[in-house]
Amino acid sequence: MRVKNPSYLLLGAVLAVALLGTTIPQQAAAAEQQVSETVAKMEKLKAGAKYAEVIALGRGILKVPPKDPRLAVRAAVVLADAYNRDKKVDQACETWQWIIDTYPGEKKHHIRALDSISKYRERQRQYARAAETVRNLLEKYTLSAKKRLPYLLRLASLESYHDKEKGAAVCESALEEYSADKAAQLQILFQLASIRGSQKDERALEIYSRIVKEFPQEKNMVLKALIAKGRLLESLGRKNEAEKEYRQAWETLPESDTRNRITVCQRLVSICAAQGNSEDAESIALSLVTPGGDVGSLMEAVNLLYQIYMQKEDYDRALFTARVTWDLSMTDARRLSGTVNKIFRTYKAKYSSLAQANAFLAFVKDLQDEKAKRPSNPLLEIHRPELPKWDEHFGKALDSVERGLPGWAASTRLCLAWGKPAQALEFAMRYYRACDRKSVQGGADLVVLTLRALTGGMKAANDFYLYQEYGPAGKDGREGTADDLEDPVAKLLAEAKRGG
């Protein structure tokens, strides 16, 4: 038996502690780094839609959770999204539940998990389960008033899917809770009005009126309230009252708010036309014509005018308006399809016969067949009727356009919508001549659009492209030879001037 020196024992213990103190953290850091690299790999795989591989890697992380909850949440985001895209919503929700179960003290991450679960459920139209999750979040965690409000509004919306009164009750309670917060009250009131309005409940009308009266400085919300109130009044059959709301909304609309201008204009035209007031309806539709020459507004103005003329059986104006729609739609396949149906319908209505309508369809069919002999465009036979209101509105808009590159483009679009393609071609050529290298293709496309509107076919457009590529000398590059080219635009503009 040997006696050991205590000093050596002490030294051994110190060394052991020191080794433990360096090796274990290093091992832990290496493990966390490996998880981080795995998550990065999952993110790349998800971007490539390789969801099965993402899920396989993610499951591995769930079996051995990282110590850092932030890293776990990062993994959960990728894994849950992969499950969702792979149409496995229950597993996506279970992934977020794993965050809650694995990291019990992490309030911030728990809130994010419950928020994500509720959104997944909502996308699957599992509104009751989504509402239950949001309610659980609100009851379990203390949030600031600012962060709590969006969840209350979501809860009201979710509850209202299956029980409108329950959704309204959430709003009523929130109004009491936020009685001193005017900004919050505005949001809650609008939500409450939307829920009531979806039931055609006249109490919503009072709420919309309250918003308009109490929050005049909140112009966007006031506008929404006026439009929503108008829609509700229409649904209740109170069209005269609805018209007043829409007209008030129209007065507050800036020209830049294209979407709402179109919405309000559509409703006003519908009401006026239904009342037999086609003159007023025409003026309202033409109010969408502005110096900016916005394509969406111009198209909607022309579409509304077409509806007005068809309703009053003014087929000459309706057919001309349909032709203008055709001219504006030549570069938009979706719009062009609808326009073909519109022109067919109008020919049939005007002549009480299918002959002209079928001739137009034959023309459209041959346009799509490269081998077909190009027929003449029957739309060229449609003459421009007297349109005094058009001339007033379009003329005023055109006079207000600022000259220069954007202004010439806007003027081109205005003249096309006005039904004056020759004048549109003049502006398109001004735009094209001023284009730089970046905008030259857009300028050429604008010229081609006007050429097709003016001539009814593609020949002039093709000649324009050839002239741009080879110039007057033609393909051989020598003037005075058989392949010399004539400027098709100059020729057409000269003919237009001679024709007045």
- Euclidean distance between CA atoms 325 and 102, whole angstroms: 61
Length of the chain: 500
- Residue-wise DSSP of 357-387: HHHHHHHHHHHT-TTS-----GGGGPPP---
The CA distances from residue 134 to 18, 81, 211, in Å, are 49, 20, 27
Q: Give the DSSP letter of residue 431.
A: H
Q: Give the DSSP letter of residue 103.
A: -
Residue 152 or 275, more confident: 152
Average pLDDT over residues 336-343: 89
* Average pLDDT value for the chain: 89
Residue 457 or 287, more confident: 287
Lowest mean pLDDT, pick from 8-22, 91-105, 172-186? 8-22
User: For residues 35 and 75, is the Cβ–Cβ distance under 8 A?
Assistant: yes
Residue type, 158: L
Q: Taking the CA of residue 312 as centre, how many other CA atoms within 13 Å lie in the half-sphere pointing to its CB? A: 20
Give the number of other CB atoms < 10 A from CB of residue 363. 19
- Euclidean distance between CA atoms 464 and 488, whole angstroms: 6
Sign of CA dihedral 24, 27, 29, 31: negative
Give the number of other CB atoms < 10 A from CB of residue 50. 14
- Euclidean distance between CA atoms 15 and 23, whole angstroms: 12
Those residues whose C-beta lies under 8 Å from the C-beta of residue 494, and which sit 6 or more positions away, are none
User: Nearest Cα to 378, choosing from 424, 340, 331, 420?
Assistant: 340
- Euclidean distance between CA atoms 86 and 51, whole angstroms: 7
pLDDT at 3: 42
Reported for 261-266, long-range contacts at CB under 8 A and 24+ positions apart, including other chains, are: 261/288, 261/297, 262/288, 262/296, 262/297, 262/300, 263/227, 264/227, 265/300, 265/301, 265/304, 266/300, 266/304
Q: Is the pLDDT of residue 330 over 50?
A: yes
| Residue matched to tokens 């728990």 | 110
pLDDT at 176: 97
Residue 27 confidence class, pLDDT cut points 50, 70, 90: low
Domains of the chain, start order: 34-142 (1.25.40.10), 392-498 (no CATH)
Q: Is the pLDDT of residue 62 over 90?
A: no
Q: Give the DSSP letter of residue 236.
A: T
Residue 188 or 58, more confident: 188
What percent of the chain is predicted at pLDDT more than 70?
A: 92
- Euclidean distance between CA atoms 339 and 345, whole angstroms: 10
- Euclidean distance between CA atoms 48 and 69, whole angstroms: 26
Phi, psi of 487 (to 5 degrees): -70, 110
Residue 370 or 239, more confident: 239
Residue 17 confidence class, pLDDT cut points 50, 70, 90: very low
Reported for 339-343, long-range contacts at CB under 8 A and 24+ positions apart, including other chains, are: 340/364, 342/306, 343/319, 343/379
Exposed / middle / buried, residue 111 (Cβ in 10 Å: 0-12, 13-18, 19+): middle
Phi, psi of 423 (to 5 degrees): -65, -35
Lowest mean pLDDT, pick from 321-330, 386-395, 489-498? 489-498
- Euclidean distance between CA atoms 189 and 171, whole angstroms: 8
What percent of the chain is predicted at pLDDT more than 90?
A: 65
What are the percentages of helix, strand and coil residues in the chain, rounded to 5?
Answer: 75, 0, 25
Assigned token pair, 292: 């900016």
Give the number of other CB atoms < 10 A from CB of residue 38. 18
Q: Tell me how far apart the terminal alpha carbons of the chain are, to the nearest angstrom.
A: 128
Question: In this predicted model, what pLDDT tens digit does every residue of 343-382 receive, in sequence order?
Answer: 999 999 999 999 999 999 988 887 766 555 556 788 888 9
- Residue-wise DSSP of 433-487: HH--TTTHHHHHHHHHHHHHHHHSSSHHHHHHHHHHHH-TTTTTT-TTSTT----
Phi, psi of 478 (to 5 degrees): -120, 125
- Euclidean distance between CA atoms 162 and 203, whole angstroms: 20
- Residue-wise DSSP of 249-312: HHHH--TT-HHHHHHHHHHHHHHHHHTT-HHHHHHHHHTT--TT--HHHHHHHHHHHHHHHHHT
Residue 36 confidence class, pLDDT cut points 50, 70, 90: confident
Question: In this predicted model, what pLDDT tens digit does every residue of 394-451 receive, in sequence order?
Answer: 999 999 998 888 999 999 999 999 999 999 999 999 999 999 999 999 999 999 999 9
Assigned token pair, 288: 């969408």
Please tell me the pTM assigned to this model. Answer: 0.77
pLDDT at 374: 58
